[in-house]
Chain A
Amino acid sequence: MPSVILALVVVIAFALYFLVWAGTNAQLQAVRSGQIPEPRGGTAQLEEALRMLGPDHVQEIGVGVVVGIGRVMLIVFAASHIGTEFGWGTLRTLLAHGAGRGTFLASKAASLGLFAAVLVAVGTLGAIGASYAVVGLGGGSSGAGVDLEAVASIAAKGIYTCLPYMALAVGIAVLARSAGAGIGAGLVVLFAEGIIADILVALNRDYAQIVNWGLARNVTALARATSNVESPSAGISLPDPAQAAITLGAYTAIFMAIAYWRLRTRDVTIG
Chain B
Amino acid sequence: MTVAPADVVLRTKGLVKRFGEITAVDGLDLEVRRGEVVGLLGPNGAGKSTTIGIVLGLITPTAGSAEILGRDVRSRRGAALRGVGAMLEVTSFYPYLSGRDNLIAIAILRGGGALARVDPLLARLGLAQRARSSFRTYSLGMRQRLGVASTLLADPALVILDEPANGLDPAGQREIRELIRELAKEGRGVLLASHLLHEVEQVCDRVMVIKKGKLIGSGTIAEVTRRGGYLEIAIAETARAAGILRRLPGVKEIRETANGIDVIADSERGADLNRALASAGLYASAIVPRASSLEDVFLELTETEAAPAQAAG
Chain A interface residues (CB < 8 Å from chain B) = 88-90, 92-100, 265, 267-271
B81 in contact with A267 (CB, 8 Å): no
**Inter-chain contacts of A97 with B (CB < 8 A):** 81, 86, 106, 109-110, 150, 153-154
A268 in contact with B53 (CB, 8 Å): yes
State in angstroms the CA–CA spacing of A170 and B56 once bound together. Answer: 25
**Which residue, A92, A99, A268, A271, has most C-beta atoms of chain B within 10 A?**
A271
State in angstroms the CA–CA spacing of A265 and B50 once bound together. Answer: 16
Interface size on B, residues (CB 8 A): 30
**Inter-chain contacts of B52 with A (CB < 8 A):** 270
Q: Which 5 A-B pairs have the closest CB atoms?
A: A89-B92, A98-B81, A268-B58, A270-B49, A267-B59
B182 to nearest A CB, angstroms? 21
**Inter-chain contacts of A94 with B (CB < 8 A):** 106, 109
**Inter-chain contacts of B91 with A (CB < 8 A):** 93
**Inter-chain contacts of B229 with A (CB < 8 A):** none
Give the contacts of B27-56 with A (CB-CB under 8 A). Answer: 49-50, 52-53, 56
A271 in contact with B92 (CB, 8 Å): no
A96 in contact with B89 (CB, 8 Å): no
Which single residue of chain B is at the shortest CB-CB distance from A88? B92
State in angstroms the CA–CA spacing of A93 and B92 once bound together. Answer: 6
Number of residue pairs A-B, CB distance < 8 angstroms: 74
**Inter-chain contacts of B162 with A (CB < 8 A):** 270
A271 in contact with B78 (CB, 8 Å): no
**Which residue, A93, A100, A265, has most C-beta atoms of chain B within 10 A?**
A93
**Which residue, B58, B60, B86, B90, has most C-beta atoms of chain A within 10 A?**
B58
State in angstroms the CA–CA spacing of A5 and B106 once bound together. Answer: 27
Which single residue of chain A is at the shortest CB-CB distance from B90? A271
A96 in contact with B93 (CB, 8 Å): no
B88 in contact with A92 (CB, 8 Å): yes
User: Interface 1/0s, chain B 126-161, versus A by CB < 8 A?
Assistant: 000000000000000000000000100110000000
Which single residue of chain A is at the shortest CB-CB distance from B111? A98
17 A–B pairs (Cβ distance < 8 Å), ordered by A: A89-B90, A90-B92, A92-B58, A93-B91, A93-B150, A95-B57, A96-B56, A96-B58, A96-B88, A97-B81, A267-B59, A267-B60, A268-B59, A270-B50, A270-B89, A270-B162, A271-B88
B164 to nearest A CB, angstroms? 14
**Inter-chain contacts of A88 with B (CB < 8 A):** 92-95
**Inter-chain contacts of A90 with B (CB < 8 A):** 92-94
**Inter-chain contacts of A269 with B (CB < 8 A):** 49-50, 53, 58-59
Task: State whether A93 and B88 are in contact (beta carbons under 8 Å apart), knowing that A267-B59, A268-B59, A269-B53 are contacts in the complex.
Answer: yes
Which single residue of chain A is at the shortest CB-CB distance from B81? A98
**Inter-chain contacts of A100 with B (CB < 8 A):** 77-78
A132 to nearest B CB, angstroms? 35
Further 8 A-B residue pairs, CB within 8 A, beyond A92-B88, A96-B81 = A88-B94, A89-B92, A95-B56, A97-B106, A97-B153, A267-B60, A269-B50, A270-B58
A81 to nearest B CB, angstroms? 12
A92 in contact with B92 (CB, 8 Å): yes
**Inter-chain contacts of B81 with A (CB < 8 A):** 96-98
Task: State whether A271 and B93 are in contact (beta carbons under 8 Å apart), knowing that A96-B56, A98-B81, A98-B110 are contacts in the complex.
Answer: no
**Inter-chain contacts of B84 with A (CB < 8 A):** 98
**Inter-chain contacts of B150 with A (CB < 8 A):** 93, 97
B75 to nearest A CB, angstroms? 13
**Inter-chain contacts of B92 with A (CB < 8 A):** 88-90, 92-93
State in angstroms the CA–CA spacing of A95 and B58 once bound together. Answer: 7
**Inter-chain contacts of A95 with B (CB < 8 A):** 56-58
Which single residue of chain A is at the shortest CB-CB distance from B82? A98
State in angstroms the CA–CA spacing of A100 and B56 once bound together. Answer: 12
B106 to nearest A CB, angstroms? 5
Task: State whether A270 and B90 are in contact (beta carbons under 8 Å apart), knowing that A88-B95, A97-B110, A97-B150 are contacts in the complex.
Answer: yes
Which single residue of chain A is at the shortest CB-CB distance from B107? A97
Which single residue of chain A is at the shortest CB-CB distance from B56? A96
**Inter-chain contacts of A268 with B (CB < 8 A):** 53, 58-59
State in angstroms the CA–CA spacing of A94 and B153 once bound together. Answer: 13
User: Interface 1/0s, chain B 86-125, versus A by CB < 8 A?
Assistant: 1011111111000000000010011000000000000000
Which single residue of chain B is at the shortest CB-CB distance from A89? B92
Which single residue of chain A is at the shortest CB-CB distance from B163? A271
A98 in contact with B109 (CB, 8 Å): yes
Which single residue of chain B is at the shortest CB-CB distance from A267? B59
A88 to nearest B CB, angstroms? 6
Which single residue of chain A is at the shortest CB-CB distance from B61? A267
State in angstroms the CA–CA spacing of A90 and B95 once bound together. Answer: 10
**Inter-chain contacts of B60 with A (CB < 8 A):** 265, 267
A271 in contact with B95 (CB, 8 Å): no
B24 to nearest A CB, angstroms? 10
B118 to nearest A CB, angstroms? 13
State in angstroms the CA–CA spacing of A144 and B186 once bound together. Answer: 73
Q: Which of these, B49, B88, B109, contacts A99 with CB under 8 Å? A: B109
State in angstroms the CA–CA spacing of A125 and B307 once bound together. Answer: 70
A267 in contact with B110 (CB, 8 Å): no
**Inter-chain contacts of B95 with A (CB < 8 A):** 88
Which single residue of chain B is at the shortest CB-CB distance from A268? B58
